[in-house]
Amino acid sequence: MTALQYRIYKIYVRIAAFAVILSLPLAFVLPVEWSFENGFLENFQVIILIFEAALILCLRLNAKWLQRFFAAGFILIALRELSWGRVFFPTGMEEFGAVFVSMADYEYRLHVYVFLTIYIAAMLFVLIRFVPVKKILFGRQPLAAFAVILIAHLLNYIGDHGLIIGKAYGQVLEELNELILYMTLPAIALYWLWQLKENPSK
The whole-angstrom separation of Cα 68 and Cα 64 is: 6
Chain-centroid distance, C-alpha 173: 16
Residue 90, H or E segment: strand 90-94
The whole-angstrom separation of Cα 26 and Cα 158 is: 15
> Regarding predicted confidence, which is higher, 56 or 139?
56
Looking at residue 125, its amino acid is F
pLDDT (tens digit, 9 = 90+) per residue, 86-136? Answer: 888 888 777 767 788 888 888 888 988 999 999 999 989 988 888 778 878
pTM: 0.84
Residues 163 and 170: beta-carbon distance below 8 Å: yes
Residues 30 and 166: beta-carbon distance below 8 Å: no
Residues 139 and 195: beta-carbon distance below 8 Å: yes
Percent of the chain with pLDDT over 90: 43
pLDDT (tens digit, 9 = 90+) per residue, 86-97? Answer: 888 888 777 767
Does residue 17 have a pLDDT over 90? Answer: yes
93 phi and psi, to 5 degrees? Answer: -130, 145
DSSP alpha helix (H) spans, 37-86: 40-58, 64-81
How confident is the model at residue 202, as a pLDDT? Answer: 44
pLDDT (tens digit, 9 = 90+) per residue, 24-47? Answer: 999 999 998 888 888 899 999 999
Of 167, 172, 185, whose CA–CA distance to 40 is shortest? Answer: 172
Residues 53 and 74: beta-carbon distance below 8 Å: yes
DSSP alpha helix (H) spans, the chain: 3-29, 40-58, 64-81, 109-129, 133-137, 143-160, 167-195
Looking at residue 199, its amino acid is N
Residues 61 and 195: beta-carbon distance below 8 Å: no
pLDDT (tens digit, 9 = 90+) per residue, 162-177? Answer: 887 888 888 899 999 9
